[in-house]
Amino acid sequence: MPLLEEKSRPQEHPPSIPVVIIGNGPSGICLSYLLSGYKPYLDSSTVHPNPILFRKLQETKHLPITEQDLEYLSEGLEGRSRNPVAVLFDTLLHPNADFGYEFPPVLQWRRDKQQHIPHLVLGKATPGGAWHAMEGSMLTISLGIWMELPGVNYRDLTNGKRRDVTSNRATPEEISSYYRNYVKLKGLQKNFVDNTYVTSVQKLCRGHKGQSLENGNTDQGDVSVGNVGSEGFEGNGVEYINNGGGGALWEVRGYQQVQNNTHVPFSLFAENVVLATGASDSPIRLGIEGEDLPFVFHSMSDLGLAISQRKLDINSDPVLIIGAGLSAADAVLCACSSKIRVLHVFRKRVDDPDLIFKQLPKTLYPEYHKVYNMMCSQTYLSMAPSSAPNRPQVVSIASSVCAKMCSKPQLAAGNMAGNASVSLFPDYTSFPEHCVVSLQSDMKCLLQGNNSLKAFKISMVLVLIGTNPNLFFLKGQGQYLGQDPTKPISCKQNPIDIHPYTFECTKEPGLFAMGPLVGDNFVRFLKGGALAIASCLLKRLKKKGKLISNGGTNFI
């Protein structure tokens, strides 16, 4: 159902919504659930294994968690997120999960329609976000139960599928189906607008037509907002009071793609905007010569497409895969399973403690440890010609080769040696502590190592070194919102700077961020952002006497 069109907006009052959520992945879905009147209470029939937290929960067990002091509850908890509320919500939903236990949640959910906050969730596709675009046959790094959202058991929606201990993970296809069904089961459809693309988000300020506030400079007085048409402000405004709590309005513009690929523009106003866009929009680039050549790609799906179209086969020149993360490992597995030769280049040492493989249990992730074993044992210099008949042939060498390329190539190989089920791919070669200098139009790549320069003939290049969020719709790409405003927003190096217990941007009242944008890349932790934001908005609107008691207004 299309949004209110820009040209059809009434001239008396602009359409105003308490909350607009940009992004309909698990972050946006979870927040919609909490804003729709669903409240978490301590389940009196359960006992949390953390005695200190359990005692705190019992002190105010008559109140929902959203109305309690999240800072007090989060104090002293430790987990795999830098955000304390994320750790709190995770331990309430999955107590002691990091110790391998599968305790039931200590929460029970009750719906209070009097506590509904009207909101819209704008997403580029159907609810589920980037999960719909992922390869459906891969396994998620997280266990299936860690991917579930509050109130709906993951196994109940996947026909109770249970796998053995090494594959109790889910496929993206299962997860995307779960999220779509979740929205229907919890009655959230009216809040979601699919196929919607946001192109501009601006904070309206007093006395300036169509102009957003300067970085972090929020007005503390009365803000008069006029009726906005395609030409901007038109005078006679509706007055809002900005008391430092998000009272000013945000203008959200964009378009919705409807039938026949028609784009219908829209413009609406929101008192609060939540950024839940994830981090998969813009692949990180190497920034080297030749990266724009037609055989260079930045997505694993391009490798699968090339294999399915038989552009690559056993007789092709090697595929060059760049990166040391799980996406690169997935690409290695995909290529090797099709007997396609692989050159795997990455900057880190194989014994670098920051490698993701060192954080994954072998029993749960055998395929990734197989790749890690090859990264360690099948390095370029460790593979003598007699033991590696398919060793890649160097086209040219520009300088002497360093004798010590990989300090401990046997590190993981020794650890994995006792596993008879591990079989390595002979047509794979790793290049630790290497970087790509350039890519040439004659299908050659130039690799730089320690005191070495080598060129190889290749058939395809996959640059899989991570992704960054694309916040083009914000002023200056949203860079001023980061912890370091001099650098672009990055989920790992420079997340958006937020208040730790409300997830409100420190530099923009009324603007919130959650999920990968604030460093929570796993579903089990991004749910904490939803708890913090919902708690903040419920308390703020209740204080202003603005809580909706009629189930909300339909804005679409």
Domain ranges of the chain: 16-160+167-197+468-544, 285-380+426-465
Q: What is the pLDDT of residue 143?
A: 53
Question: Which residues make Cβ contacts (< 8 Å) with residue 321, sequence separation at least 6?
Answer: 328, 331, 332, 335, 342, 343, 344, 345, 462, 464
Q: What does the pLDDT look like over 31-66, one tens digit per residue?
A: 999 999 999 999 999 999 999 999 999 999 999 999
Distances (CA, A) of 393 to 318, 390, 429: 10, 8, 11
Q: At what angle do helices 84-93 and 523-544 cross, to 10 degrees?
A: 110
Q: What is the pLDDT of residue 130?
A: 59
Backbone angles phi and psi of 17, in degrees to 5: -125, 140
Choose among 338, 355, 348, 321: nearest CA to 425. 338
Q: What is the pLDDT of residue 231?
A: 30
* pLDDT band of 247, cuts 50, 70, 90: low
pTM given for the model:
0.76
DSSP 118: -
CATH architecture of 285-380+426-465: 3-Layer(bba) Sandwich (3.50)
Q: Exposed/middle/buried for 389, CB within 10 Å: 0-12, 13-18, 19+?
A: exposed
pLDDT, the chain, mean: 79
16-160+167-197+468-544 matches 285-380+426-465 in fold: yes
The CATH code for residues 16-160+167-197+468-544 is: 3.50.50
Q: What does the pLDDT look like over 459-508, one tens digit per residue?
A: 999 999 988 899 999 999 999 999 999 999 988 889 999 999 999 999 99
Lowest-confidence region among 127-131, 265-269, 272-276, 280-284? 127-131
Q: What does the pLDDT look like over 119-130, one tens digit per residue?
A: 999 998 888 655
- Tell me the Cα Rg of the chain: 26
Higher pLDDT, 330 or 162: 330
Question: Which residues make Cβ contacts (< 8 Å) with residue 329, sequence separation at least 6?
Answer: 357, 367, 368, 371, 372
